[in-house]
Amino acid sequence: MTLDEKFTKLKDGLKAMDKVIIAYSGGVDSAFLLKAASLSGLSDILAVTGISESLQKDELSTAKELASSLNIKHLTIMTEELSNENYANNPPDRCYYCKKDLFGKLREIAEKENCPFVLDGTNADDAKDWRPGRRAAMEEGVRSPLLDAGLSKKEIRELSRSLGLSTWDKPAAPCLSSRFPYGRKITAEALDRVSRAETFIKKFGIKELRVRDHAETARIEVNAEDFKALTDDAIRNEIVSFLKSLGYKYVTLDLQGFRSGSGNEVLTDINSENHGDTEIRRKET
């Protein structure tokens, strides 16, 4: 199937739903899904963004701007995953509890609005990956039109670019909880510290990075081409000073560079009961 045929299949499938609620983070996938929905002739579209301490603050403003530019109704709701010990204790399937909370709230909204369909931005690549949140989506009856159309992340970026979406080359921006090793308890204070650390480093022109929080140590991941900028004496001293002011005793640069899912590298297998595979594959974290 060609890319154009996949895009047509996506729009036709959306149009047949008529009225939808979209779990909308403002990332590459959900932004593209929102745009596709706006082009499909749907009679009613509601984009809903879940807000919590684990959401990067600049992500919300971006999501609001895009929804407004598409003239789509946009609702923000508070999610409460940190109040769930199953989430806060940070097990390997942490994302399941987050998505269960979000999709449960979206299902409640859908029932009030008499809307039969709740959608998310899962794509075809995600089906090959370790995604605990997929189980929550299936339990709550959430549909994944990008997956159904067979669209990969690369194809979504290509289509987004052709449609003029500013998100076409946006780096992945998973929740801040992904910065902590599994088993390390997640708190609002720890999430805020990571958020402030990453925001500070971004001001030096670093677009793709993670500050991995290992209690006393901040392990910074950036692309190899950004090493030179971060090791400049003036910039390095500023970063070290600021991160130490946040409470880190040690500030390190990971020489392996930025890589999605580095938190999974310490794990070789987990109980396969919930996902049918003993290997944890990398995901965009």
The span from the CA of 45 to the CA of 109, in Å, is 13
Number of independent structural domains in the chain: 2
188 and 165 share a domain? no
Q: 40 lies in a domain? A: yes
204 and 88 share a domain? no
Query: 58: Cβ–Cβ under 8 A, 6 or more apart, which residues?
Result: 199
26 and 151 share a domain? yes
| Burial category of 128 from C-beta neighbours within 10 Å (exposed 0-12, middle 13-18, buried 19 and up) | exposed
- Give the pLDDT confidence score for residue 282 in this predicted structure: 40
Domain, as residue range, for 204: 176-264
- Give the pLDDT confidence score for residue 132 in this predicted structure: 85
35 and 101 share a domain? yes
Of 265, 263, 165, give the one whose Cα is nearest residue 210: 263
- Give the pLDDT confidence score for residue 28 in this predicted structure: 96
What CATH number does the domain containing 148 carry? 3.40.50.620
56 and 107 share a domain? yes
Last residue of a domain, one of 153, 169, 185: 169
Q: 65 lies in a domain? A: yes
Q: How many of the other CB atoms lie within 10 Å of CB of 215? A: 13
160 and 195 share a domain? no
The span from the CA of 84 to the CA of 88, in Å, is 6
- Give the pLDDT confidence score for residue 280 in this predicted structure: 40
13 and 63 share a domain? yes
205 and 226 share a domain? yes
pLDDT in tens, 12-26: 999 999 899 999 999
Last residue of a domain, one of 126, 152, 169: 169
- Give the pLDDT confidence score for residue 173 in this predicted structure: 83
| β-strand pairing of 44-51 with 73-78 | parallel
- Give the pLDDT confidence score for residue 56 in this predicted structure: 83
11 and 142 share a domain? yes
165 and 180 share a domain? no
82 and 113 share a domain? yes
Q: 270 lies in a domain? A: no
184 and 117 share a domain? no
pTM of the full predicted structure? 0.85
Q: 181 lies in a domain? A: yes
Q: 272 lies in a domain? A: no
Last residue of a domain, one of 136, 169, 202: 169
Q: 277 lies in a domain? A: no
Residue 36, token pair as written in the block: 């596709």
Residue 247, token pair as written in the block: 């409470």
What CATH number does the domain containing 196 carry? 3.30.70
**DSSP labels, 67-103:** HHHTT-EEEEEE--GGG-HHHHT--TTHHHHHHHHHH
Q: 269 lies in a domain? A: no
Q: 48 lies in a domain? A: yes
- Give the pLDDT confidence score for residue 47 in this predicted structure: 97
Q: Which residues of the chain have pLDDT under 50?
A: 267-285
pLDDT in tens, 123-166: 999 887 778 889 999 999 999 999 999 999 999 999 999 999 99
